[in-house]
Structure 1
Amino acid sequence: MNQRQRKKLSRRLFQAIPGGDTPAVKALLRAGVDPDRADSEGTTPLYEASVSGKAEIARLLLVAGASPNTESSGLGAEGTPLCAAACWGHTEAVRALLAHGADPNLHEDHGTGWTPLKWANHGPHPETADLLVAAGAIPEGTP
């Protein structure tokens, strides 16, 4: 697949995610789209799916090889997929990310920002926070 085709497929992937177009995402992944390829601003597909609460699409991307801990750097879309999902209380997306190895204690902003648990508590999203704690998230102030 040449560079132009990769860009075109990637663009289609980013168009399919917000609307929850799972069949399109499946078809694009079968066609060879890179599930980790960021858009021109630095936003990853997994971040986009996580922040918008598209848990099934997040699962598809993870199964296709998207890294659960890759930080997105797009304008207004900075951070990890787990922080993004926790911030908005998207519990099913959080569950999918954790099931595929997302680190519940990973600070975003390259280690200087908030953890997923801090975002969930800030929400407040107690169900999401409880899920993160059950997965090993360490509350702030805990040694």
Structure 2
Amino acid sequence: MNRRRQKKLTRRLVAAAMLGDVAGAGALLRAGASPELPDADGTTPLYAAAVNGEAGAVRLLLAAGAPPDAESGRGSEGTPLCGAACWGHTETVRALLDGGADPQLREDGGTGHSPLRWALAGGYDETAAVLRAAGAEEAAG
């Protein structure tokens, strides 16, 4: 597949993931879109789905091989689990954990906040409980 076509598919996959369009994302994956590649802004499809609370799209992308702990963006985003926890998307947090996301992994290459820290900062007690049950512990940062 040529580079131009791959870029177009990636852009469309990120948009479908962000909107929770599982059928559209599935079609794009079947057409050759990679669940691993970021778009031109550096956003990965998994992060786009996670930060918007689209658990179905998260499950689809993980099943297609999206790495659960890959950071997204160029310093402005983070890990999918941190993105979901930041907004209290508990079902999405569960899907990411089920897909192998590390509940202790801090964003920004390990120097930023943890998913638990984001959940606590937002007052999302249920999300924090799910993260703790998965092994997340309080940490500074």
TM range (shorter): over 0.9
Quick check: which one's strand share is greater? 1
The one-letter amino acid of 1:67's match is P
Matches within 5 A, 1:104-115: 104-115=103-114
Gaps of 5+ in 2: none
Tell me if structure 2 keeps the 8 A contact 1:59–1:97: yes
- Residue 75 of structure 1: how far off its partner (Å): 6.5
- Residue 74 of structure 1: how far off its partner (Å): 4.0
| SS of equivalent residue, structure 1 residue 86 | helix
TM-score by length of 2: 0.94
| SS of equivalent residue, structure 1 residue 72 | coil
How much is the aligned-residue C-alpha RMSD, in angstroms? 1.3
Instruction: State the Cα deviation string for residues 12-38 of structure 1 (Å, max 9, x = none).
Output: 112222322111001111112100110
TM-score by length of 1: 0.93
Q: Quote the Cα distance in structure 1 between the aligned partners of 2:38 and 2:89.
A: 22
Instruction: State the Cα deviation string for residues 83-135 of structure 1 (Å, max 9, x = none).
Output: 00000000111001100110000011111100000000011100000000000
The residue number in structure 2 matching 1:41 is 41
Sequence identity (%): 59
Tell me if structure 1 keeps the 8 A contact 2:84–2:93: yes
Q: Quote the Cα distance in structure 1 between the aligned partners of 2:130 and 2:75.
A: 28
The one-letter amino acid of 2:123's match is P
The one-letter amino acid of 1:112's match is T
> Size of the alignment, in residue pairs?
140
The residue number in structure 2 matching 1:63 is 63
The residue number in structure 1 matching 2:98 is 99
Gaps of 5+ in 1: none
The residue number in structure 2 matching 1:73 is 73
Q: Quote the Cα distance in structure 1 between the aligned partners of 2:24 and 2:113.
A: 33
Q: Quote the Cα distance in structure 2 between the aligned partners of 1:8 and 1:40.
A: 10
Question: Which stretch shifts more, 118-127 or 18-27?
Answer: 18-27
Q: Quote the Cα distance in structure 1 between the aligned partners of 2:128 and 2:15.
A: 30
The residue number in structure 2 matching 1:139 is 138
Quick check: which one's helix share is greater? 2
Tell me if structure 1 keeps the 8 A contact 2:17–2:46: no
Q: Quote the Cα distance in structure 1 between the aligned partners of 2:75 and 2:106.
A: 18
| SS of equivalent residue, structure 2 residue 113 | coil
